[in-house]
Amino acid sequence: MKRKDLVDQIFSKKSFLCVGLDADFDRIPQHLKAEFEDPVFEFNKQIIDATAPYCVAYKPNTAFYEARGVAGWTSLQKTIDYIPDTHFIIADAKRGDIGNTSKQYAKAFFESMSCDALTVAPYMGEDSVSPFLTFEDKWVIVLGLTSNKGSQDFQFIQNKETEEKLFEAVLKKTQSWGTIDNLMFVVGATHPEKFADIRKIVPDHFLLVPGVGAQGGDLEGLVRHGKNEEIGLLVNSSRGIIFADSGKQFADASAQAAKRLSDQMAAFF
């Protein structure tokens, strides 16, 4: 998907919501397991049908599918194929390895699975990321500043000479590897106070923002400091939407949760 198409969707819907399809098999409603051969896909299908009017993107976390082996990969492929072409598809796989390996990861998610974007860890350097950037109209989403507690372990290490933190160095270095049309950054909503500083480094890039909802991120704070003229944000909510209810009305509950968040986003346009 081209940048213009994504931006057009955001302004048309007045929403920058990304729904995380973290289809944890243990949390899927029991009636789906009893009634359907592929309960994971059926769960995702109903979630997509219910939330599509309120979001612009979906983000399957591949770990929840990989854990189930071949059956999980099948569910993931069917889910990706089912997502409407109007919605941006992010494979949250956090790949990144030496060049030849990264090229195969890119082919898997961009060619075989037809995802629009893939999350990538930049630790091994440019040659581990550049193979992903050779695919037309595909996006690399580099881990910049993550929302988990462990982000404090390494990402805030400071260079004593320059006072630059490691995550800032990552943002400055990696943005030169691609463009605003094929490179995004993961910035966690649990660090809203950092968004103003991050925008000084990457003013025009899209930011994928996890951590809203179950992880307690502050939507108002991150949008106030993090949006740009094109909004420039994809704010993800996973558990707070897809597991809003565990009964037969789970899809309706997910629609209501997605609408609430989307309605909050509309105020920022």
Residue entry with tokens 């819907």: 13
94 is catalytic: yes
Contacts of 61 (CB under 8 A, 6+ apart): 20, 21, 22, 92, 238
Distance CA 42, CA 82 (A): 11
Structure-block tokens of residue 144:
């910049």
Select which of 45, 78, 94, 107 is catalytic. Answer: 94
Residues with a catalytic annotation lie at 94
